[in-house]
Amino acid sequence: MELWDTHCHLNDPSFAGRTDEILVRAQTVGVCKIVVPAYDMASIRRTWALASDYPATVLPAIGLHPWFIGDEQQWDGLSREIQRPECRAVGEIGVDGYAGSPPKALQMWWFERQLELAVELKLPALIHCRRAFPELLRVLKRFRGAAGLILHAFAGSPELARQLVRLGAYISFAGALTLDNARKALAVALVVPEDRLLLETDAPSIGLNHVPAPEVEPAHLLRIAQRLAQVRGCGVADIARISTENARRVFGGS
């Protein structure tokens, strides 16, 4: 059984010095590929280093998270990094409506520029969205049918998930699905078509039931797959097969 963790911040400083043991535990439960998205300029360097050290496992994604966008003068440098041939996806990018986030207009400028480059390069995009789904939908309607629009750690409603799927997006499930009060996530898990379903840990940012976020690592992906299988009434091997086939189609590779 093979699993792909399609969003894991192995480039987070909290994982430094532990990568070998983390990957051994991941491989023990079948996690064979890990998409590692950058989120700020410093994490880009760490992402390239991981991809160089673990080329058989780590798929690098390059982008700026909406919390960490800067002035527009940074664009040329970021776009050069995204255009490196080793880059497998654009991300983590998106829009965030929580208090304290950068101005929405600036967020949208960065989000749209990064999406446009993803489309130009035919790369998938790892999309973060919180409390900004109307803005997200307006942007994604311009990119209807683009390859690999991935709503990472999706936290919206079943109806919103349906709208996004109609626009060609993939819905990725993380540890929130395992929580006792995950009513919305469980409802979404029932409506996403097989060919639009992905798995991730978002380690070390999202916890699982009885596992705090800082302790989450790629090996916990198996628990997420097991919970999704339970909800959808199928075997975990079916979820592994479906999600892995989808990940291969989106990110390429065997």
Q: Is residue 54 a part of any domain in this protein?
A: yes
Q: Is residue 163 part of a domain?
A: yes
The pLDDT of 167-189, averaged and rounded, is: 95
How high does pLDDT run on average in the chain?
96
Residue 254 pLDDT = 56
Q: Where are the beta strands (DSSP E) in the chain?
A: 3-5, 31-37, 58-62, 89-96, 125-130, 149-151, 169-173, 197-199
Q: Looking at the domain assignment, is residue 162 inside a domain?
A: yes
Average confidence (pLDDT) over 177-188: 94
1, part of any domain: no
Q: pLDDT category, 87, cuts 50, 70, 90?
A: very high
Query: In this predicted model, which residue has the larger pLDDT, 77 or 73?
Result: 77
Q: Residue 42: inside a domain, yes or no?
A: yes
Mean pLDDT confidence for 77-103: 96
Judge whether 4 lies within some domain: no
- Average pLDDT (65-76) is 90
- Candidates 9, 1, 29, 22; CA nearest to 200 is 9
- Cβ atoms of 114 and 82 within 8 Å: the answer is yes
- Is residue 62 over pLDDT 90? yes
Q: Could you tell me if residue 26 is inside a domain?
A: yes
- Tell me if 101 sits within 8 A of 131, measured CB to CB: no
Residue 240 belongs to domain spanning = 10-251
- Kindly report the backbone phi and psi dihedral angles of residue 51, in degrees, each rounded to the nearest multiple of 5, phi listed first: -65, -35
Residues 191-226: tens digit of each pLDDT: 999 999 999 999 999 999 999 999 999 999 999 999
Q: How confident is the model at residue 61 (pLDDT cuts 50, 70, 90)?
A: very high
Residue 134 pLDDT grade (very low, low, confident, very high; cuts 50, 70, 90):
very high
* Residue 67: count of CB within 10 angstroms of its CB: 16
Residue 222 lies in a domain: yes
| 29 in Cβ contact with 22 (< 8 Å) | no
Q: What is the count of structural domains for the chain?
A: 1
CATH number at residue 92: 3.20.20.140
Confidence of residue 72 (pLDDT cuts 50, 70, 90): confident
**Average confidence (pLDDT) over 118-128:** 96
Q: What digits encode the pLDDT tens for the residues 29-41?
A: 999 999 999 999 9
Helix (H, G, I), strand (E, B) or coil at 3: strand
